[in-house]
Structure 1
Amino acid sequence: MSLWRRTPVESGGGDLAFLGFEGAPNDTAVFPWREERGASTIDEPVPTTTVLAVRPWGTEVGLLVARVVLGVTALFGGARTLFDLPRGHGDGTAHTQALLGGYGFRSVAELSTALGWVQLVAGVLVAVGVFASFAGSALLAVALVALVVTVPTAWASGTVGPAELPLFAVALAAVVVLAGPGRISGDADRPWYRAQTAVGGVAALIAVGSALTVLLALRS
Structure 2
Amino acid sequence: MTATVNATTSKAPTGTDIGLAIVRVSVGGLLAVHGSQKLFGWFNGYGLDATAGAFAHMGYDPGKFFATLAGLSEVVGGLLLALGLLTPLAAAIVLGTMINAVNVARSGGFAMWELPAVYALVAVAFAFAGPGRLSLDAGRPWQRQGLAWSAGAIALGVVAALVTLAVK
TM-score band (shorter)? 0.7 to 0.9
Corresponding residue number in structure 2 for 1:126: 81
How far residue 53 of structure 1 moved from its aligned partner, in angstroms, is 5.0
Question: Structure 1: which 5+ residue stretches go unaligned?
Answer: 1-51, 155-159
Higher relative contact order (CA 8 A, sep 6+): 2
Corresponding residue number in structure 2 for 1:103: 58
Ranges of 4+ aligned residues in structure 1 off by more than 3 Å? 191-195
Question: Structure 2: which 5+ residue stretches go unaligned?
Answer: 1-6
TM-score by length of 2: 0.84
Cα RMSD over matched residues? 2.3
Corresponding residue number in structure 2 for 1:74: 31
Question: 8 Å contact 1:100–1:108 — kept in the other structure?
Answer: yes
Give the helix-richer structure, 1 or 2.
Answer: 2
CA distance in 1, matches of 2:112, 2:166: 21
How far residue 123 of structure 1 moved from its aligned partner, in angstroms, is 1.8
Cα deviation code 1:23-47 (max 9, x no counterpart): xxxxxxxxxxxxxxxxxxxxxxxxx
Per the alignment, in what secondary structure is the counterpart of residue 148 of structure 1?
Answer: helix
CA distance in 1, matches of 2:72, 2:147: 28
Q: Of the two, which has the highest radius of gyration?
A: 1
Give 1:33-112 correspondences, 5 Å limit. 57-87=14-44, 91-112=46-67
How far residue 192 of structure 1 moved from its aligned partner, in angstroms, is 4.8
How far residue 165 of structure 1 moved from its aligned partner, in angstroms, is 1.4
Corresponding residue number in structure 1 for 2:3: none
